[in-house]
Each structure stands twice: as structure tokens, then as C-alpha cells.
Amino acid sequence: MYSHRFQPEQFREAVLRRYPRIPLEALDRIVDREAQRPVNHSLSPASYVPLAVASVHGFVRHNFTNYDILLERTMRHIARDKVRRAVENYLTAWS
């Protein structure tokens, strides 16, 4: 079976196409994190756009909201609902 090698630069471009105003520090951290995840090594470059969206959402949720604190007190879907507006505000600003 043919497996793809994760291409950090192509992934970076996918993130920037969707979020052109993302701060470079955040972009670098997201790309570095995804490049180190073994599961991503089998993804084709066509999968980079949905991965970019999910990665940026997760990055914002964990780094710019109180999501992790909420997770200690409640279920995941409730914690996500509580931070949804804050996450959307960042994503809008970065789009």
C-alpha cells in the first residue's frame, strides 16, 4: 500500500488559504504539531484543507479559551458549546 509523506509546507499553505491572517506564531505551532502526529503521515495532500480547519479550531479552543478548565468540570460537547463563540471570533479575525 502506498503511503504519503506529510508535507509541512503544503499543509502550511492549506492553513494560510483558509486563515490568511493567522498570526505566524500560531501557524508555526499548528504546523509543527501536525507534522509530529504519526497519523498525519498517511494523509494525502487533498486531506490538508479539512485537517487545517480542524487543527486551527483545536488550537484556538485549547490556547485562547477556558476550554481545558471547562473539560475538568463538564462533558466535552458542553465545554465546546460554551467556547464556540470565542473560537468563531478568532477564526473570523484570521479569515
At 77-94, the pLDDT tens digits run: 999 999 999 999 999 999
Look up the domain containing 77 and give its range.
8-94
Residue 3 maps to a domain: no
Residue 46 lies in a domain: yes
- Domains in the chain: how many in total? 1
**Would you tell me how many other CB atoms lie within 10 Å of the CB of residue 61?**
21
Rounded Cα distance, 7 and 27, in Å: 15
- Residue 75: φ, ψ to 5°: -80, 155
* Average pLDDT score, the chain: 93
- 38 or 24, greater pLDDT: 24
The answer to whether position 42 is within a domain reads yes
Q: Is residue 19 part of a domain?
A: yes
Please determine, for residue 19, whether its predicted confidence score (pLDDT) is greater than 70. yes
Structural domain contains residue 13: yes
Say if residues 83 and 67 touch (Cβ distance below 8 Å).
yes
The pLDDT assigned to 3 comes to 55
Average pLDDT over residues 31-56: 89
- Whole-prediction pTM: 0.88
